[in-house]
């Protein structure tokens, strides 16, 4: 199979046709924001017609475009729309030139392009791909459009199989979460519980670390719990917060979707962004493992939703969480439940490891497909 080396800008054109919010075109085009494109897969989760962002200037797109999310390019949001619409200006409609649309989208999701986008980015906290630099990237592509279509069809089938495996593992993980919820509910209903203010039973760990923490890993909170963070502290390291066994921490911007973590006894301590909220239960009053699972349960979700209102809806700092109430069983009942929750951990960890391995497969598949040396060897 033959290859040709081209600049990325030779096979795509940025097609930034502006749609003004009050125009007739805007009324007939459904809106697509970055949050509606799934990271990694490029799946379009939904379209909107009445979001706040939809009332801003947008770009028009057609079903012939590939949509490239330039904000935080490591999230790898590259979509192939099946209809006309309009999108956030953080999404660039790209028009293919002499290249198959699906093949192009898969190429843009490959690690080579993602790394190039992150190398030539602008901004630090909210990096954006420099599109001019990215389009200057030299890449190798199959020279036949028919071959590109065949490759894209094969890759989509393989990636769909990976997605099926990922969903099956996620279902297993959800089942363990249901068991954890049942343990939390049982501990409350089998004990004499009292209603307490969260601010009275939790302590917040403040930012600021000593030199002894400088070499500890940076940790983050995701939907799956504890995970290495992508960002590095740099000069801001002294302002980071320590996270050690027995602490619960969460991303105040993403707590509504479950970005909450617990540092267990066998976890390596670390530091986390000063933007995170770090908590621990007051000694003899709240078992931190029990509280972590309560916070992730439907009870904790209901509490968070009741507090997430108005201007603070997207930012749940401790002073707002402290206003919430918790039905708290006796400390002995919490510890008993905590022991049962600890027994779930090996099962959850095994599924999480399986998910982590599955998450690596798409890039391995794409790397093999777009590696000229491997193709020439075959």
Query: Is the residue at 185 inside a domain?
Result: no
pLDDT(157) > 80: yes
Q: How confident is the model at residue 224 (pLDDT cuts 50, 70, 90)?
A: confident
pLDDT in tens, 241-281: 999 999 999 999 889 888 999 999 989 999 999 999 999 99
Residues 241 and 347 in one domain: no
| Band of pLDDT at residue 329, cut at 50, 70 and 90 | very high
Residue numbers of the domain that contains 319: 194-328
Same domain, 113 and 154: no
d(CA 118, CA 135): 13
Judgement on whether residues 152 and 105 belong to the same structural domain of the protein: no
Statement to judge: residues 267 and 250 lie in one domain: yes
Q: How far is residue 207 from each of residues 220, 246, 273, measured CA to CA in Å?
A: 15, 17, 9
In a domain, 189, yes or no: no
Query: Is the residue at 186 inside a domain?
Result: no
- CB under 8 Å to 302, separation ≥6 — which residues? none
> How many CA atoms are closer than 13 Å to the CA of 225, on its beta-carbon side?
23
Distance CA 223, CA 30 (A): 29
Give a yes or no: residue 147 inside a domain: yes
Tell me the pLDDT band of 345, cut-offs 50, 70 and 90.
Answer: confident
In a domain, 249, yes or no: yes
Kindly report, residue by residue over 32-50, the tens digit of the pLDDT. Answer: 999 999 999 999 999 876 6
Q: How does the average pLDDT of the chain come out, rounded?
A: 91
Are residues 112 and 12 part of one domain? yes
* pLDDT class of 54 with cuts at 50, 70, 90: low
Does residue 207 register a pLDDT over 60? yes
Cα→Cα distances 104→23, 38, 51, 173, 236, Å: 31, 17, 29, 34, 39
- Structural domain contains residue 333: no
Q: Are 271 and 374 members of one domain?
A: no
**pLDDT the model gives residue 375:** 57
Q: Report how many domains make up the chain.
A: 3
Q: Are residues 80 and 14 in the same domain?
A: yes
Confidence (pLDDT) at 374: 55
pLDDT band, very low/low/confident/very high, at 223 (cuts 50, 70, 90): confident
For residues 279 and 361, membership in a common domain is answered with: no
Q: Over the stretch 59-88, which tens digit does the pLDDT of each residue have? A: 999 999 999 999 999 999 999 999 999 999
307, part of any domain: yes
pLDDT, one tens digit per residue, over 2-29 is: 899 999 999 999 999 999 998 999 988 9
- More confident of the two residues 253 and 104: 104
Q: Looking at 32-46, 107-121, 162-176, 221-235, which range is the least confident one?
A: 221-235
- Give the residue from 288, 306, 328 where a domain finishes: 328
Domain CATH for 284? 3.90.220.20
């Amino acid at each position: 199979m033959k290859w040709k080396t081209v600049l990325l800008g030779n096979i795509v054109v940025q097609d930034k046709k502006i749609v003004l919010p009050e125009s007739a075109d805007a009324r007939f085009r459904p809106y697509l924001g970055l949050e509606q494109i799934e990271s990694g897969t490029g799946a379009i989760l939904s379209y909107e017609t009445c979001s706040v962002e939809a009332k801003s200037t947008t770009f028009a797109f057609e079903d012939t475009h590939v949509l490239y999310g330039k904000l935080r390019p490591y999230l790898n949001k590259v979509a192939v729309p099946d209809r006309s619409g309009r999108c956030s200006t953080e999404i660039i409609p790209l028009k293919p030139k002499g290249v198959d649309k699906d093949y192009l989208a898969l190429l843009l999701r490959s690690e080579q392009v993602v790394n190039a986008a992150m190398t030539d980015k602008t901004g630090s906290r909210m990096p954006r791909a420099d599109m001019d630099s990215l389009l200057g990237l030299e890449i190798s592509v199959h020279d036949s459009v028919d071959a590109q279509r065949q490759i894209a069809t094969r890759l989509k089938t393989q990636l769909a199989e990976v997605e099926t495996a990922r969903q099956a593992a996620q279902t297993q993980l959800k089942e363990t979460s249901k068991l954890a919820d049942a343990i939390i509910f049982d501990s409350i209903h089998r004990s004499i519980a009292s209603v307490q203010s969260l601010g009275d039973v939790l302590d917040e760990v403040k930012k600021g670390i000593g030199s002894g923490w400088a070499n500890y890993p940076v940790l983050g909170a995701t939907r799956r719990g504890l995970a290495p963070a992508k960002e590095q502290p740099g000069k801001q390291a002294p302002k980071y917060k320590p996270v050690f066994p027995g602490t619960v921490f969460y991303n105040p911007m993403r707590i509504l979707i479950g970005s909450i973590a617990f540092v267990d006894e066998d976890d390596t301590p670390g530091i986390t962004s000063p933007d995170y909220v770090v908590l621990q239960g007051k000694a003899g009053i709240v078992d931190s493992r029990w509280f972590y699972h309560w916070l992730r349960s439907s009870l904790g979700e209901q509490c968070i939703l009741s507090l997430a209102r108005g201007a603070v809806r997207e930012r749940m700092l401790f002073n707002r969480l402290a206003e919430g109430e918790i039905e708290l069983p006796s400390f002995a009942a919490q510890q008993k439940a905590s022991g049962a929750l600890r027994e779930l951990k090996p099962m959850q960890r095994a599924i999480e490891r399986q998910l982590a391995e599955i998450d690596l497969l798409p890039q391995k598949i794409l790397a093999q497909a777009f590696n000229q040396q491997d193709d020439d060897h075959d």
